[in-house]
């Protein structure tokens, strides 16, 4: 995957993370009120960013083949093809 593509996807993940944090801020200090979906999204984003720091981002965890660029554009925290 090209470096420019990775950077664009990294920024997309960071924006998604910021949106979740903004939802949390609207709840005040009550992390319990954060939905399970938001908690999972934060974990997925964290894992995707960690994979980007290495060399395994964009590789399917099941079959070890590359995940298509189009799929990653839609779901940048996708781990299976």
**pLDDT tens-digit map of 49-64:** 999 998 889 999 999 9
Cβ burial, residue 48 (10 Å; 0-12/13-18/19+): buried
Whether residue 9 contacts residue 76, with contact meaning beta carbons closer than 8 Å, is answered with yes
For the segment 1-37, what is each residue's pLDDT rounded down to a tens digit?
Answer: 677 789 999 999 999 999 988 877 776 666 666 778 8
Q: Is residue 49 part of a domain?
A: yes
For 59, phi then psi, to 5°, come to: -110, 130
Whether residue 3 contacts residue 67, with contact meaning beta carbons closer than 8 Å, is answered with no
Q: Is residue 26 part of a domain?
A: yes
Q: Is residue 81 part of a domain?
A: no
Residue 39 belongs to domain spanning: 3-74
């Amino acid at each position: 995957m090209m470096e420019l593509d990775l950077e664009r996807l990294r920024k997309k993940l960071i924006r998604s993370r910021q949106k979740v944090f903004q939802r949390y801020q609207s709840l005040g200090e009550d992390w319990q009120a954060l939905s399970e979906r938001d908690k999972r999204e934060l974990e997925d984003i964290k894992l995707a960013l960690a994979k980007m720091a290495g060399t395994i981002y964009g590789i399917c965890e099941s079959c070890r083949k590359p995940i298509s660029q189009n799929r990653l554009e839609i779901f940048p925290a996708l781990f299976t093809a």
